[in-house]
Amino acid sequence: MRRALALAASPDARTGPNPRVGCVLLSPDGEVVGEGYHHGAGHPHAEVEALRAAGGRARGATAVVTLEPCDHTGRTGPCSVALLDAGVARVVHGQSDPNPVAAGGARRLAGAGVEVVGGVLAAEAEALNPAWTFAVTHGRPFVTWKAASTLDGRVAAADGSSRWITSAEARAEVHRFRAGVDAVIVGIGTVLEDDPHLAVRRGGVVLPREVQPLRVVVGRRDIPERARVLDGAAPTLQVREHDPATVLVALRDLDVQHVLLEGGPTLAAAFVRAGLVDAVRWYVAPALLGAGASALGSAGINSIADALRLRITEVARVGDDVRIDARVLRAEED
C-alpha cells in the first residue's frame, strides 16, 4: 500500500475534479506485475494503468489501490468491472469512496467472488485528497483564505499602497500554492483597484493556460476590458453575485474542489460571516504601518466569545516573513 500511496503522490498526478489514486498489482507469490496512477481527469484510472502494465499476469493477482475502485461510468468505465474482466482475485484498498456517484466498487467485487479488504492505511490514503474528500462529502469546494499583512494586521498603508508587503520568497510560494488549487477568487473591487493578474508564474514565467486555476471575479460591476484577468493567460469567470454560498454552488457545478480566496477585506469578511472559510494561509511581514486597511472587514463578530477560532497546523519562515497555516474550528471540533 505504501508503494501505491507513493505512486498516487507522483509530481505529475494533477489535482482537479478527480482524486489522486495509485495502484499496485501483485502476483500470487508477491511479485509486482503492474502499477499505475491517475494522471488527471480524462486519463485512465490507476487500476486501468496497472492492468495494462500487467497484461495477462493480472489474472489471479491482488490489486492494492489507495481508493476503493469506482463503480461509475464517466469519461472512463468503472474500475470494478475492469478488475473483474482481468480476473483479479483479491482487492485491498485504503480509503472507502465517499462519492455516492462512484461508490459501490467494493460491493460489486465482493458480490462477484473477489476477496475485498478495505481500510488499509486509510488515513494516509485520505490525506492524499483532503479537498476532494471535503468537496464530495460537503457538496461544495474547500475554501482556503490567503492573506498577507504587516505585523499589526494591515494589508495596505494609509495612502492605499500595498505592493509589496511580503517578500519575494513569500510571493513565489503563493504561486506554488495557487498551482495546486482549482480556482482563485477575488472581488470586483480588488480587480478595479489593484488590477491583479492571478495567473500562476514560475520563475517569473506564466505557466501554460491548461494548468492554470480558474480566475473567479465576484461582484456585479463589469470587469474592465483591459483588466489583466481577461488577458487569456488563464480561464476567467465572473460570478455576478455577492452571496458566497451562491458563488460556491456555481463553482461546484464546474467540478471545482479547492478554491483559494485572495480577495480583499470585504470579500473575506463575507466568506467568514457565511461560515465558508475552512482554512487560512497567512503571511505576516515584519513591518508596522499603524494605519490603513485591515486584513478582515466587518464579519459580524462583536465579542471575544464569537471569535472565529483556528487550529494552527504549521508555522514556517518564508524569506523574512512568517507563514501561519490554520484550520477553522467548527462547533463539533471545539
Q: What pLDDT digit, counting tens, does each position of 288-334 carry?
A: 999 988 888 888 888 898 888 999 999 999 999 999 999 998 765 54
Q: Which of 47, 49, 173, 262 is catalytic?
A: 47
Query: How confident is the model at residue 281, as a pLDDT?
Result: 96
Strand partners, 239: 218
The reply to whether 225 belongs to the active site is no
CA angle in degrees (0–180, nearest 5) for 41-45-47? 170
Q: What digits encode the pLDDT tens for the residues 21-36?
A: 999 999 999 999 999 9
Q: CA–CA separation, 273 vs 277, rounded Å?
A: 9
Mean pLDDT of 270-282: 95
Decide the pairing of beta strands 22-26 and 32-37: antiparallel
> Which CATH fold topology does 139-333 show?
Dihydrofolate Reductase, subunit A (3.40.430)
The pLDDT value recorded for residue 203 is: 86
Smallest CA-to-CA distance from 214 within 16, 11, 75 is with 16
Topology of domain 2-129, CATH: Cytidine Deaminase; domain 2 (3.40.140)
How confident is the model over 26-74, as pLDDT tens digits?
Answer: 999 999 999 999 987 778 899 999 999 999 999 999 999 999 999 988 7
Give the start-to-end residue ranges of the domains of the chain.
Answer: 2-129, 139-333
pLDDT score, position 68: 95
Rg, the chain, Cα only: 22
